Amino acid sequence: MRKVVITVVVSALAALTGCADLLCAPNCHAKHQESSSLVAFLYPGASLPPVTNSIPQLHLPLRVGLSFLPTPGGRGPTAAQRQQLLERVRDHFKDLHFVSQIVVIPDYYLAAQHGFEGLAAVQRLYSLDLIALVSYDQVTNTDSNKWSLGYLTIVGAYVLKGNRYDVSTLVDLAVVDPVTRSLVLRAGGVDTRDGTATAVGAARAERAASASGYDAAANQMITHFDAALADFEAQVKAGRANVRVVNRRDAGNGGGGSGGGALDWLTVSTLLAILMLRGTSPGRRVAWRALDRRLGRRRPTT
């Protein structure tokens, strides 16, 4: 009878205090992970990267897509946190002279089909040159310490910090070219923090640590992104970047030369009319010089 009473009391205390497993105390351990892994997204089903690297051809100015990779079950950072980070990344992109437009892509477009095939479809849909993907990974470990035995009392659940937790967070930004399946630019930020909490306040403390860890990792990623952008621009100017840069105007003129511009028939007719109406020699010289400028030629000034 005494054993029955003890069992009932212990079970009631466990229910009141929220202790999940009395049998493992004081050595309980739990692990929780939320991830939107870039590698898992780009190479689903254990597919392998291409054997040979192709050189991306960038047509300036660039149209860049920007999106946060979806997390399974919609977990991870809140919609407001994701939107805020995307806006910060967009603000850094828009200051670049070789970027014409930043297009924010809803993450549900990426949830439909993973891999470079899915990215290529989004690229065609939005007429993009490159796509910047933000991914997120966070692992929370929770262990009980010697105070966890105090959870057997109602008071212990409120005052004894029997839960020790640590939270590791990674926020990563990768700019990829879906056509060549190449990584053009990458920046990342990490954060690790730990603490202790009572049984009643453990969930709240872990949520706060999760949010703070995400913010700190995102701030570090933005700092590293600034440095990566500056280095990439310097490498492109020096001709050492693993990309081929093509100006859209030059590409439209056959890919070479500075492109003096096409001479339309209206311009030709106007200039010829000026030549016919202006009978003086200085007038003809002015008209010829205007025609030469349209053709991209240089005439002697004599």
Tens of pLDDT, residues 75-107: 788 889 999 999 999 988 877 888 899 999 998
- In sequence order, the 6+-apart residues with CB closer than 8 A to the CB of 31 are 139, 140, 141, 142
> Reduced to 3 states, what is the DSSP secondary structure of residue 146?
helix
Q: Write down the mean pLDDT value for the chain.
A: 78
Domain boundary among 248, 270, 294: 248
Residue 18 located in a structural domain:
no
Residue 214 located in a structural domain:
yes
Cα angle 294-300-302, degrees, rounded to a multiple of 5: 125
Among the listed residues 259, 248, 249, 252, the one whose alpha carbon sits nearest the alpha carbon of residue 57: 248
Considering the domain architecture, whether residues 284 and 146 belong to the same structural domain is answered as no
Residue 33 located in a structural domain:
yes
Q: Number of folded domains in the chain? A: 2
Mutual orientation of helices 265-277 and 281-295 as an angle, nearest 10°? 170
pLDDT score at 104? 94
pLDDT score at 148? 74
Cα angle 137-50-48, degrees, rounded to a multiple of 5: 50
Considering the domain architecture, whether residues 62 and 127 belong to the same structural domain is answered as yes
68-90 as b/e: b if 16+ CB within 10 A: bbbbeeeebbeeebbeebbeebb
Domain boundary among 248, 270, 286: 248
Kindly indicate the confidence band of residue 184, based on its pLDDT and cuts at 50, 70 and 90.
Answer: very high
Residue 185, classified by CB atoms within 10 Å of its CB into exposed (0-12), middle (13-18) or buried (19+), is middle
Considering the domain architecture, whether residues 271 and 129 belong to the same structural domain is answered as no
Q: Which residue has the higher pLDDT, 288 or 225?
A: 225
Considering the domain architecture, whether residues 280 and 131 belong to the same structural domain is answered as no
Q: Which residue has the higher pLDDT, 146 or 229?
A: 229
pLDDT score at 160? 84
pLDDT score at 92? 83
The answer to whether residue 242 scores a pLDDT higher than 60 is yes
pLDDT score at 288? 54
Q: Provide the 8-state DSSP code for 127.
A: T
Considering the domain architecture, whether residues 111 and 64 belong to the same structural domain is answered as yes
Considering the domain architecture, whether residues 289 and 159 belong to the same structural domain is answered as no
pTM across the whole model = 0.72
The answer to whether residue 226 scores a pLDDT higher than 60 is yes
State the residue range of the domain holding 294. Answer: 260-302
Give the pLDDT mean for 199-208. Answer: 90
Give the pLDDT mean for 21-39. Answer: 75
In this predicted model, what pLDDT tens digit does every residue of 102-124 receive, in sequence order? 999 998 888 888 889 899 999 99
Give the pLDDT mean for 241-261. Answer: 60
Considering the domain architecture, whether residues 221 and 280 belong to the same structural domain is answered as no
CA distance 145 to 139: 19
Kindly indicate the confidence band of residue 47, based on its pLDDT and cuts at 50, 70 and 90.
Answer: low
